[in-house]
Chains A and B, each alone.
Chain A
Amino acid sequence: MRFFVNAKFDFIGRRRPAYIGTAIFMVLGLVITVVRGLNYSVEFTGGTLMQIHSQAPIDVGAVRTGLADQGITGAEIQTFGNDQELVIRARVAVEGSDADNTQVTSAAVAAALDGVLGAGSYDVVRTEAVGPKVGGELRSQAFFAIMLSFLAVLAYLAYRFEWRFGVAAVAATAHDVIATLLFIGIMRLEISLFVVAGILSVLGYSLNDTIVIFDRIRENLRQSRRDDFVAILNRSINETLPRTILTGGTSLGTLTALAVIGGEVIRPFALVMLFGVVVGTFSSIFIASPVLLEVENKWPGADAKGVPVVKRKPQTAS
């Protein structure tokens, strides 16, 4: 049994429709995300999250009133799974208190719950109280880590392949990270640390997928230097297509299992990864390779066929 043996699809020829499709998704996603805003968890914005489990069904309205009495307005209150489990997110500190002193807000939430539900009639399943300072640090750290890893990947690919490959791989991966962020915005998923781990996994998967195709391009370039570059790109994508389908398929299967039966905590991560596998596969074929072609058209060189030139003097503007 083999799939897509000797496939001869003209992927590169269809790059413009793919660009347009991506552009439409990006613009739509950007509009939706900008209008509604990204839904950061309290870990990033600062604030207090409390998840409680009560013996009796909880009246959300009463909890909201109780919170307002304690000086907490604009808290998000959601049931979690069933109506006995409740998640409260208070992002704004109690008026007049030091926002970085997280305990004031959690105490106020606890007091409100004691008042509405009765002390002892509920269990606190989870608490997260993060000062805005810590939240800001987390955000910048995640961003910093992704950017630096991009640089390192560029350097590695420039060393192992050639700088053009590095640029194309990072472009495709950046595309995937942005698309995943927009997907999160469209789906209104909460950006928690766990979802950030999902975005990072997408980054890893997408790079992996792109490199496998690039590896084949590198090999085919060495074997047949005289061929047309577009033909080589198409051939490489087609030759690796069985692997792309199989690996993508098994990943999607595993992630579907995680999304469906993995539980409430894992689901957002699994959804992000599901989207990431689809977009990562798409971008390896329709973004990474075409970008490689565009870069090659724009900056052709003696080493244009991707053969690493180790001793190449940097061009100086004279």
Chain B
Amino acid sequence: MSKSIRNRLLIIAGMIALAVFYLFPRTITIRERGPDGAMSDVQIRRIPLKLGLDLQGGMHLGLELDQSVKVSADPANDLQLALTVIRKRTNEFGVAEPLVQQQGAHRIVVELAGISDPARAKAIVQKAAFLEFKITDKTGSLERAIPAMDRALQQLGISAAAGSQPSASSAVQQLLGADTTAAVDSTAPVVGGVLSGLIQPASIAGGGAPGEYMIPETAFVRVASLFRIPAVARLIPRGYEIKFANAPTSVGVDSYRFLYVVEDRPIITGSALTDATAQLDPMTQGAIVVFELDRAGGRRFGTETQRHVGDFMAILLDDRVQGRPPVIQSRIDRRGQITLGNRSLQEAQDLALTLKAGALPVPLRIVEERQVGPSLGADAIRAGVIAAIVGTLFVIAIMIGYYRVSGMLAVLALFLYMLFSLGGLAALDATLTLPGLAGLVLSIGIAVDANVLIFERIREELALGKTVRLSVDEGFRHAMSAIVDSNVTTAITGLFLYQFGTGPVQGFAVTLVLGIAASMITAIFVTRTFFLVWLERKPAMQTLSI
């Protein structure tokens, strides 16, 4: 065997070894959340080919800063902060290899593979997790403000809907023991007032912290929007604000929403938080989140709680009051807890997770959501693989039927082509998507075409009466320019698609360009080597099986 052929075979063997090395199953460590809620590292062995979300199922989210609620002073910086927070959260979420990255100047892309509960995933990513502790109002300032608010509403032509129960409308009146004749008093209730008809102190439902009121759940949305009317918002007592509970509460057969008047200045916020864990309260068996504050936060919390012993403290998460405010019994320092009532341990874990990762600087909104169930991806793979096998068998049959022994060499080279392209995908750590598979199919066609070009050229040369060896040499030489030029132009389009495309289009471009490279190597180098070996073994060959 001549030296040049041996070198060529060695190079081919080296490329095969490299491709096999990259495709060899390897151990990958992923963080998973166990049934007990603790995170643990799990090791699995698999072929290091990443499947896209469309093939393995999962969720793709595009997020942007939502400035309709809160205007960001420095959007670029806030996006970076949000990116860090989401990254922390998704790392603890328990998905293998979560992807969180910035796309363009304004967008964050989150990809979570193989998740089973998309609603929960969205909540975790999107939750602002802004935690505040605020003291409730014990001066009853809302009661005094309601009549003025109702009058303001009346002037706007808004009054209680006809048919509202008169007993409910007088609840505040009864409580204050107001004399209905004292209509000239500025604090006197307005007959038929909207707010006075809906808002009643929570004390009638038993217990009740100061500053705690309740409204029928059916009126919740309406009351919330009434408080946003500027004429009414102006009348909210200075230094206080109105917040709602995060969930309705059943009192008897009716469903009520609690409403709180709290000081607008928080005694502490979640930014001072260093740790949070979910637990079950040993007394009530309800879910709680135990948190720990940093040193400075602990000092401030201690001073404030000492000052407010006997007061009630509302815990606000994303502007909604969590549970009913507890009374401050003594000074609280660095450790505290949030009671979640009858919610699940899972929810408590998610809350602890988002609290620990920190609050989002500005709320995010989902501008793009793609979610593929694992079954759809599996179906697509199965059907696609069967079709690809049938198609490949068809190509093999034609190549061998048409080009005989030469065709067999081409088919052998085709298998190497597939090995090289898959190895290349693994080496580049590229993700295989459905459009990516399409790119692979197209490049198989290109690989076959390169062989066809060469073989047709060899046939032409043979037809001119040249010897076998000369025909093979000339065939490869002349087909080269067509192969190179056609492949380079296709690769150029592929590169542009990669540069200017997004996700799926990029996946297509990667496999296409990779496939073109692999097909040029196999057609020009591998098939040529096979021919050289063949000709060397049968130097006296007069006719070529082509």
List A residues at the B interface (Cβ < 8 Å).
1-2, 5, 51, 53, 98, 100-103, 106, 123-131, 133-134, 138, 141-142, 144-145, 148-149, 152-153, 156-157, 160-161, 169, 193-194, 196-198, 200-201, 203-205, 207-209, 211-212, 214-216, 218-219, 239-240, 242-243, 246-247, 249-251, 253-255, 257-258, 260-263, 265-266, 269, 273
Pick from B83-91, B336-344, B361-369 the stretch touching chain A.
B361-369
B434 in complex: contacting residue of A240, A255, A266, A273, CB < 8 Å: A266
What are 7 A-B contacts defined by CB distance under 8 Å?
Answer: A98-B365, A124-B371, A134-B62, A194-B435, A207-B489, A207-B490, A266-B383
B478 touches A208 (CB 8 A): no
B460 touches A100 (CB 8 A): no
Which residues, 130 to 170 on B, are CB-close (under 8 Å) to A?
A: none
Which residue on B lies nearest to A85, using beta carbons?
B376
Which residues, 435 to 479 on B, are CB-close (under 8 Å) to A?
A: 435, 438-439, 441-442, 444-446, 448-449, 452-453, 456, 459-460, 463, 478
List B residues at the A interface (Cβ < 8 Å).
62, 64, 66, 68, 118, 122, 365-373, 375-376, 379-380, 382-384, 386-388, 390-392, 394-395, 398-399, 401-402, 434-435, 438-439, 441-442, 444-446, 448-449, 452-453, 456, 459-460, 463, 478, 481-482, 485-490, 492-497, 499-505, 508, 512
Give complex CA distance A198, B371 in Å.
22
Which residue on B lies nearest to A214, using beta carbons?
B485
Given A197-B504, A201-B442, A247-B452: A149 in contact with B391 (beta carbons within 8 A): no
Give complex CA distance A262, B392 in Å.
13
Chain A nearest CB, measured from B516 CB (Å): 9
A5 surroundings in chain B (CB, below 8 A) = 463
A129 touches B368 (CB 8 A): yes
Give complex CA distance A266, B391 in Å.
14
Which residue on B lies nearest to A48, using beta carbons?
B369
Give complex CA distance A218, B502 in Å.
37
A197 touches B380 (CB 8 A): no
Give complex CA distance A194, B434 in Å.
8
Chain B nearest CB, measured from A311 CB (Å): 22
B460 touches A200 (CB 8 A): no
Give complex CA distance A257, B426 in Å.
27
B485 touches A258 (CB 8 A): no
Give complex CA distance A134, B370 in Å.
12
Which residue on B lies nearest to A106, using beta carbons?
B369
B445 touches A247 (CB 8 A): yes
Give complex CA distance A47, B367 in Å.
10
B460 touches A239 (CB 8 A): yes
Give complex CA distance A120, B439 in Å.
38
Our count of residue pairs bridging A and B at CB distance below 8 angstroms stands at 232
A131 touches B398 (CB 8 A): no
A102 touches B452 (CB 8 A): no
Using A124-B373, A161-B485, A219-B478 as known contacts, list a sample of 6 further A-B pairs with CB atoms less than 8 Å apart, ordered by residue number in A: A133-B367, A141-B500, A201-B512, A250-B452, A261-B386, A266-B380
A250 in complex: contacting residue of B366, B394, B497, B500, CB < 8 Å: B394
Given A153-B489, A160-B485, A205-B442: A128 in contact with B369 (beta carbons within 8 A): yes
B452 touches A246 (CB 8 A): yes
A149 touches B493 (CB 8 A): yes
Which residue on B lies nearest to A161, using beta carbons?
B485
Give complex CA distance A301, B490 in Å.
29
B392 touches A254 (CB 8 A): yes
Give complex CA distance A157, B383 in Å.
39
A138 touches B502 (CB 8 A): yes
A209 surroundings in chain B (CB, below 8 A) = 486
A253 touches B505 (CB 8 A): no
Nearest 3 pairs of A and B residues by beta carbon: A263-B383, A254-B391, A262-B387
Chain A nearest CB, measured from B57 CB (Å): 9
Give complex CA distance A101, B370 in Å.
14
Give complex CA distance A101, B64 in Å.
10
B449 touches A247 (CB 8 A): yes
Given A253-B398, A258-B387: A205 in contact with B445 (beta carbons within 8 A): yes
B496 surroundings in chain A (CB, below 8 A) = 145, 148-149, 152
B441 in complex: contacting residue of A129, A200, A214, A258, CB < 8 Å: A258
A142 in complex: contacting residue of B399, B446, B505, CB < 8 Å: B505
Give complex CA distance A71, B162 in Å.
27
B380 surroundings in chain A (CB, below 8 A) = 263, 265-266
B383 touches A156 (CB 8 A): no
A126 touches B371 (CB 8 A): yes
Q: Which of B62, B384, B505 has the most CB of A within 10 A?
A: B505
Give complex CA distance A200, B443 in Å.
13
Give complex CA distance A144, B501 in Å.
9
Give complex CA distance A106, B126 in Å.
15
Give complex CA distance A205, B443 in Å.
10
Give complex CA distance A86, B508 in Å.
28
A211 surroundings in chain B (CB, below 8 A) = 482, 485-486, 489
A141 in complex: contacting residue of B369, B452, B501, CB < 8 Å: B501
A262 surroundings in chain B (CB, below 8 A) = 383-384, 386-387
B500 touches A254 (CB 8 A): no
B368 touches A263 (CB 8 A): no
A127 surroundings in chain B (CB, below 8 A) = 118, 369-371
A145 touches B371 (CB 8 A): no
Chain B nearest CB, measured from A244 CB (Å): 9
Which residue on B lies nearest to A123, using beta carbons?
B373
A198 surroundings in chain B (CB, below 8 A) = 438
A130 surroundings in chain B (CB, below 8 A) = 367-370
Which residue on A lies nearest to B126, using beta carbons?
A103
Q: Which of A98, A103, A145 has the most CB of B within 10 A?
A: A145
Given A149-B497, A266-B380, A266-B383: A200 in contact with B505 (beta carbons within 8 A): yes
Chain B nearest CB, measured from A76 CB (Å): 18
B452 surroundings in chain A (CB, below 8 A) = 243, 246-247, 250
A215 touches B391 (CB 8 A): no
A144 surroundings in chain B (CB, below 8 A) = 500
B488 touches A134 (CB 8 A): no
B493 touches A215 (CB 8 A): no
A102 touches B66 (CB 8 A): no
B370 touches A200 (CB 8 A): no
A242 in complex: contacting residue of B373, B456, B504, CB < 8 Å: B456
